[in-house]
Amino acid sequence: MTHSLTFDAISEATPGPKWAARWQRSWPAYEAWFVANGGDTGPDRAACEAALHDYMPELVPVHAELTALAGGSDRAARFLSTWCPPSYLGGCSLAVATSRDDIRLVRNYDLSPDLNEGLLLHSAWTGRRVMGMVEFLWGLSDGINDAGLSIALAYGGRQETARGFGITTILRYVLETCETVPQALRVLQRVPSHMPYNVVVADASGAAASVEIYAGGGAKVQPRLVATNHQTNGTAPDRGGFTRTFERADHLVGVLSDAPTPSTLVGQFTQAPLKQDRYAEGFGTLFTAEYEPLRRQMTLHWDGDTWAQSIEAFEEGTREVIYGGGAGGASAQAGDIDWVRIGMDYAAGRHPDWRSFVPDWVDVA
Residue 10 lies in a domain: no
Residue 118 lies in a domain: yes
Amino acid 22: pLDDT: 97
To which H or E segment does residue 195 belong?
A: none
Stretch 310-314: mean pLDDT: 97
Residue 74 lies in a domain: no
Residue 2 lies in a domain: no
Whether 150 contacts 143, CB under 8 Å: yes
Residue 355 lies in a domain: no
Residue 233, pLDDT above cutoff 80: yes
Higher pLDDT, 357 or 157: 157
The pTM of the full predicted model, rounded to 2 decimals, is 0.89
Residue 349 lies in a domain: no
Return d(Cα 111, Cα 188) in angstroms, integer. Answer: 25
Amino acid 238: pLDDT: 85
Residue 38 lies in a domain: no
Stretch 102-119: mean pLDDT: 91
- Helices 74-81/60-69 angle, 10° precision: 140
Residue 202 lies in a domain: yes
The answer for residues whose C-beta is within 8 angstroms of residue 105's C-beta and 6 or more apart is 94, 95, 96, 150, 151, 152, 200, 201, 202, 208, 290, 291, 293
- Helices 17-36/60-69 angle, 10° precision: 90
| Full domain range(s) for residue 137 | 93-323
Amino acid 89: pLDDT: 67
Q: Kindly report, residue by residue over 40-58, the tens digit of the pLDDT.
A: 999 999 999 999 999 999 9
Whether 194 contacts 159, CB under 8 Å: no
Whether 216 contacts 162, CB under 8 Å: yes
Confidence of residue 354 (pLDDT cuts 50, 70, 90): very low
* CATH classification of the domain holding 281: 3.60.60.10
Domain tally, the chain? 1
Residue 322, pLDDT above cutoff 80: yes
Residue 311, pLDDT above cutoff 80: yes
